[in-house]
Copies of this chain bind each other. A is one copy, B any other.
Amino acid sequence: MAALIEVTDPDDPRLADYRDLRDVELRKHLEAEHGLFLAEGEKVVRRAVEGGFAARSFLMAPRWLDGLEEVLASSDAPCYVVSEDLAEAVTGFHVHRGALASLERTPLRSVEEVVAGARTVVVPEDVVDHTDVGLTRLPPTRRRIAVLEDLVDHANVGAAFRNAAALGVEGVLLSPRCADPLYRRAIKVSMGAVLQIPWTRVDPWPDGLAALMEHEFTVVAMTLAKDAVDLDELVSMEPERLALVFGTEGSGVTPETASMADLRVRIPMAAGVDSLNVAAATAVAFYATR
């Protein structure tokens, strides 16, 4: 049971994990050095704790205590109870969704573990059963992994994870330059999916992707190159194991990575229009290949 501790001094050192959440550079250092990450909002805090991440502490206004009663009961970390004004003074913004938690990062998985892993998506217990949805119609051997190359925007990384979770992609591999999936904004945009889908960094990049080939994945570089085949053609091939590689919006997948791929595939688009952003491209590709 988390001890409820009222804090009234914004400079209280026990609130250090929650300082200046809008200062991206400061947070990167602070979170890396202390091996922590922040969860924001009742739903995400619950998913993090239920997903097995150990809480260092919680921070919330009194009105959020009831909704998180069970979560707090399951943890020994302290819960700092503060006014909304104090929360704002510490974090630097109005905490709309009220509850925050600081959690311990876990060691990164190996690429092998993500690639070879079975369907290890954690389904929260509060979720209703949807046995009628599309995924149950997939052959049990069909597997899909998403590979994100150099997506430096936290919102894009979060959106890719959310789409992966919604559309049944089992794992995510990230290039070293990709934004941190456990950064607050990425977690929030992902609706907590980064806490559920197995993921890791690939290093060296892109050579570490060889693990995909060893496991007989068809590696597909998503690109707007004219010589790429249409997404429909990929769908008609029905690959049993499929790794979809997405690059930055501007340049797409790097030539080095594209040359490692088995196939180059593009989403056909209307004439004269900028490409879909990478989040929309993941949604389309994950849906089409489900």
A interface residues (Cβ-Cβ under 8 A, vs B): 121, 123-124, 127, 129-136, 159, 162-163, 165-168, 191, 193, 226, 230, 267-277, 279-284, 287-288, 290
Given contacts A135-B271, A159-B277, A271-B127, contact A287 B290 (CB under 8 A): no
Shortest beta-carbon distance, A51 to chain B, in Å?
Answer: 12
A130 engages B272 (CB within 8 Å): yes
Q: In the assembly, what is the distance between CA of A124 and CA of B271, in Å?
A: 10
Interface centre among A124, A129, A268 (most CB of B within 10 A): A268
For A276, list chain B residues within 8 Å (CB): 162-163, 166-167, 283
Apart from A123-B272, A162-B280, A166-B269, 20 more pairs, CB < 8 Å: A127-B273, A130-B269, A130-B272, A133-B269, A133-B270, A134-B269, A135-B269, A135-B271, A162-B274, A165-B273, A166-B273, A166-B274, A166-B280, A167-B269, A168-B270, A276-B283, A284-B284, A284-B287, A287-B287, A287-B288
Shortest beta-carbon distance, A189 to chain B, in Å?
Answer: 8
Q: In the assembly, what is the distance between CA of A283 and CA of B102, in Å?
A: 34
Copies of this chain per assembly: 2
Shortest beta-carbon distance, A22 to chain B, in Å?
Answer: 14
Shortest beta-carbon distance, A123 to chain B, in Å?
Answer: 4
The prevalent SS among residues of A at the interface is: loop
- Which residue of the partner chain, among B166, B267, B282, contacts A270 with CB atoms under 8 Å? B166
Q: In the assembly, what is the distance between CA of A133 and CA of B123, in Å?
A: 39
* Smallest Cβ-Cβ distance to A131: which chain B residue: B271
Given contacts A284-B284, A287-B288, contact A230 B274 (CB under 8 A): no
* Smallest Cβ-Cβ distance to A136: which chain B residue: B271
Q: Supply 17 A–B pairs (Cβ within 8 Å), ascending by A.
A: A121-B272, A123-B272, A127-B271, A127-B272, A130-B269, A134-B268, A135-B269, A159-B277, A162-B274, A162-B277, A162-B280, A163-B276, A166-B275, A166-B276, A279-B279, A283-B284, A284-B284
Which 3 A-B pairs have CB atoms at the shortest separation, nearest pair first? A134-B268, A123-B272, A280-B283
B267 engages A287 (CB within 8 Å): yes
- Which residue of the partner chain, among B272, B280, B282, contacts A159 with CB atoms under 8 Å? B280
Q: In the assembly, what is the distance between CA of A193 and CA of B269, in Å?
A: 14
